[in-house]
Amino acid sequence: MHYSGGGSIKKIIAIAALILSAVCMAQSQDIAGDWQGILNAGTAKLHVTLHITKDNGGNLQATMDSVDQGAFGLPVSSISLKDSKLKFDVDKVQGSYVGKLNPDATKISGEWSQSGAFLDLDFKRATNPVKAQPNPAQPSDIDGTWLGTVEAEGIRLRVVFHILNTADGLTATMDSPDQGVNGVPATAVTRKGSSLKIEVKQMRGGAFEGKISPDLAKIDGTYTWTAGALPLVVKRVKDASVLGRL
């Protein structure tokens, strides 16, 4: 009886090739490491860094930095990678991200969503470890936290601005504690002398424009958005722990 194992050998080789291909793909799709991107928030461009690691069980973990706003180590509450689709949430700022990882795991293309706005955000893998340090700059005389209240039809809503000077200019984030909204990035911050304007287009086209008092203790102005305009005076908060009791 004559026996030929040629067909079986070819099948074994084909299966081995498939296994090797799958292993290579899995290795190339390893997403752990540092990733850098720029969030296009209107006229403002915010540098964002994503730090992804794996725990002992191989589960993904991450933190995020908003470098220009001086916010570092923001905890990523959930993160997943499935079929090259990366998803993560940052509950602290009520933001989320969905992106597509390219085949060689060097770029992620996607969108950041926050407060109903969707902003383009692409990440590229950092070739060297990224240190969580902001662009160095001397603090401005209005750096810090500012708190005020707007009132409309008997409803009072507190507004908090966090202002930070960077090498690229003033940046800010906005909180609306009574609405459970935190860390919304300003799309533009403009100062001319004592005049200050903070635009937060994600908040229904919102913008605050006011005059800084000579003693740098308050900013008296108006908050406008698509529904109209309301007077708003924000005062400097010297003890940030007060915000935790709001």
| Claim to verify: residue 89 and residue 41 sit in the same structural domain | yes
Can you tell me the distance from the alpha carbon of 24 to that of 179, in angstroms, rounded to the nearest whole number? 47
Q: In what order do the strands lie in the sheet with 155-166?
A: 181-185, 169-176, 155-166, 144-152, 228-237, 218-225, 206-212, 195-200, 188-192
Q: Are residues 149 and 103 in the same domain?
A: no
Residues 6+ apart with CB under 8 A from 50: 34, 35, 36, 37, 62, 63, 64, 65, 76, 123
DSSP 58: S
151/121 same-domain check: no
CATH number at residue 230: 2.40.128
Instruction: Give pTM, 2 decimals.
Output: 0.58
**116/149 same-domain check:** no
Same domain, 150 and 114: no
148 and 121 co-located in one domain:
no
Quote the pLDDT of residue 21.
Answer: 42
Same domain assignment for residues 153 and 109: no
Residues 120 and 208 in one domain: no
Dihedral angle, C-alpha 70, 76, 82, 85, nearest 10 °: -30
Phi, psi for residue 2 in degrees, rounded to 5: -100, 135
User: What would the two tokens of residue 239 be?
Assistant: 């003890």
The answer to whether 75 touches 219, Cβ cutoff 8 Å, is no
Query: Looking at the domain assignment, is residue 56 inside a domain?
Result: yes
CA pair distance 55, 137, nearest whole angstrom: 35
Per-residue pLDDT of the chain in tens (246 residues, 90 and over written 9): 444 555 555 554 444 444 444 333 434 468 999 999 998 776 667 889 999 999 888 899 999 988 877 778 889 999 999 999 999 999 888 899 999 999 999 999 999 998 778 889 999 998 776 655 556 578 899 999 999 999 877 889 999 999 988 877 888 889 888 888 888 888 889 999 999 999 988 777 889 999 999 999 999 999 998 888 999 999 999 876 556 555
- On whether residue 136 sits in a domain, the answer given is no
In this prediction, residue 40 carries a pLDDT of: 79
Provide the pLDDT for residue 71: 78
Say whether both 114 and 56 belong to one domain: yes
Residue-number span of the structural domain to which 55 is assigned: 33-125
Instruction: Count how many domains the chain has.
Output: 2
In a domain, 208, yes or no: yes
